[in-house]
Structure 1
Amino acid sequence: MSTTNQSKKVALVTGGNRGIGFAISKQLALQGISVIIGSRDIRQGEAAARSIAPPPAGGTTTTTTTTVSAFELDVTDQDSVDKLASTIHSRSGKLDILVNNAGVLLDETDNLPSKIDLQIVKATLETNLIGAWRLCQSFVPMMKKNKYGRIVNVSSGAGALTTIQQSLYAPAYSLSKSSLNVLTIMFANELRREDTNILVNAVDPGWVRTDMGGPSAPRSVEDGADTAAWLATLPDRGPTGGFFFDRKRIEW
């Protein structure tokens, strides 16, 4: 897909104000895609948008067609999602790319499923699974209407069944990411039955140096974001219903 074509695309990155989401937003913007950053804290979202695409100095015009904007978004709140969907529809009439990146890790030190507080489990699933599901339900109809869509669910190696079989780590988080993988397969199966041109995939960004991953993680945010940005810009008839790490399909 050429930069000329991509300049016409509109992408929403949830939790795009920092970490991997910010890096994904930046990489998409560099390809000429108009990026909408969804952020619970609108001030952080606006600051992130300005750092990616600063407004022209002195009110001068710019030749670039790329825009980066920020809107308040709480993926656990249907009203918040509906409001943003209405705004996107009125502004552009379409959403081409949805990156479900917003996520929480609330139980890293609680690694026993027999003892974890179920309220933590509920809160984790509400953001990491139901939040992504809510966004898909809200924007898939818009994608169907325009016969184009790329949905990228930012998952984790912690959600891979082979990982879960071998270790005890953050049971609520791991469960939420394995469930997100299943959701990816479900939406891909539904949408491949119709001529929708909507591709749905999950990505494992790896252990990345973010607020969540910590400073000792071996991967940069740019490395962590690369595969997500690649999946977000797949050509027509590209892969769908897969789980990817470093642009290669991996086992669920």
Structure 2
Amino acid sequence: MRVVVTGSSDGIGAEIARVLDGRGHEVVRHARDEAKAARLRDAGAGEVVVGDLASLASTRAMAASLCAGAPFDVVVHNAGWLPPEGPRPVTADGLERTFQVNALSAYLLTALLPLPSRLVYVSSDSIARGRIDLDDLQHETQWTADSAYADSKLAMTAIAFAVARRYPAVRCNAVHPGWIRTKMSGVAAPLDVSAGADTPVWLSTRDDPPTGMFFHDRRVVRLNEQAYDTAVQDALLAACATLTGTPLP
């Protein structure tokens, strides 16, 4: 099985890649820049793709690089960014960084890569307090780090459910990995990366995965009903298509 795991230079993504690699699957890892990619290669990681998900151009180049190889059986959208408190962060594309990295980049990669048999979107239980405001997806009127993160992960989850509905042959799900000790979550988190990787690996490899569901600890949970609203899903896909200039196939 051929798998690509975004955001796999460290943390949960690195553990997902390590476990899948250890089970004999062909894993392509992803790093944000060449320095991180070099460290992965020096550690024997094998194939590594580079792409800054805070850049539409870099995300497109990353997708082109991935498309140049054999197709993937599984794509794990694990990359994410937790913003610090402070001014609203804006990328060179003029987009709010949290939304671009956590939601829009996953949409764009989904649109550009050939559809695999399985898609896993690593989300967060923060979606329980999130809200998709279709008139202000990028928090231009009011921004806090917590709301931007929760809302972006809710948008990512709604994208996953929309993709599952649009492509029923693809087994597509979202996952809350738990509160895991990583650079992003901090040392106070009670669980190690093996716990965070468990359900994404399970969904990537189980014989008959479901689709269009949200999982935590290998169990289906429902944390925010807005993610299941098909009208919201369709409007969100349309907004992402406009922002990226790329509709889903």
What is the aligned partner in structure 2 of residue 20 from structure 1? 12
Q: Is the 8 A contact 2:89 2:96 kept in 1?
A: yes
- Go from structure 1 to structure 2 and tell me whether the alpha carbon gap of 1:179 and 1:88 turns closer, same or farther (over 3 Å shift): closer
- Go from structure 1 to structure 2 and tell me whether the alpha carbon gap of 1:136 and 1:216 turns closer, same or farther (over 3 Å shift): same
Normalising to structure 2: TM-score of the pair? Answer: 0.76
Q: Is the 8 A contact 2:54 2:97 kept in 1?
A: no
Normalising to structure 1: TM-score of the pair? Answer: 0.75
Q: Distance in 2 between matches of 1:182 and 1:228?
A: 17
Paired letter, 1:247: R
Give the unaligned 5+ runs of structure 2. Answer: 132-143, 224-249
Tell me whether 1:132 sits opposite 2:106 in the alignment: yes
Q: Is the 8 A contact 1:101 1:154 kept in 2?
A: yes
The CA RMSD measured in Å over matched residues stands at 2.4
Query: 1:150 Cα deviation (Å)?
Result: 1.0
Q: Distance in 2 between matches of 1:151 and 1:50?
A: 28
What is the aligned partner in structure 1 of residue 235 from structure 2? none
Q: Distance in 2 between matches of 1:135 and 1:75?
A: 10
Aligned residues: 208
Query: 1:82 Cα deviation (Å)?
Result: 3.3
What is the aligned partner in structure 1 of residue 193 from structure 2? 221
Query: 1:128 Cα deviation (Å)?
Result: 0.4
Moved over 6 A (4+): none
Tell me whether 1:122 sits opposite 2:93 in the alignment: no
What is the aligned partner in structure 2 of residue 179 from structure 1? 155
Q: Is the 8 A contact 2:127 2:154 kept in 1?
A: yes
Deviation string, structure 1 residues 16-39 (Cα, Å, up to 9, x no partner): 101111011101111111111111
Counterpart selection for 2:26 from 29, 34, 39:
34
Give the unaligned 5+ runs of structure 1. Answer: 1-8, 55-66, 111-115
Query: 1:10 Cα deviation (Å)?
Result: 1.3
Paired letter, 2:27: V
Tell me whether 1:155 sits opposite 2:155 in the alignment: no
Q: Is the 8 A contact 2:9 2:40 kept in 1?
A: yes
Query: 1:47 Cα deviation (Å)?
Result: 2.2
Q: Distance in 2 between matches of 1:47 and 1:118?
A: 28
Deviation string, structure 1 residues 27-65 (Cα, Å, up to 9, x no partner): 1111111111111122323423553xx3xxxxxxxxxxx
Give percent identity, aligned residues only: 31
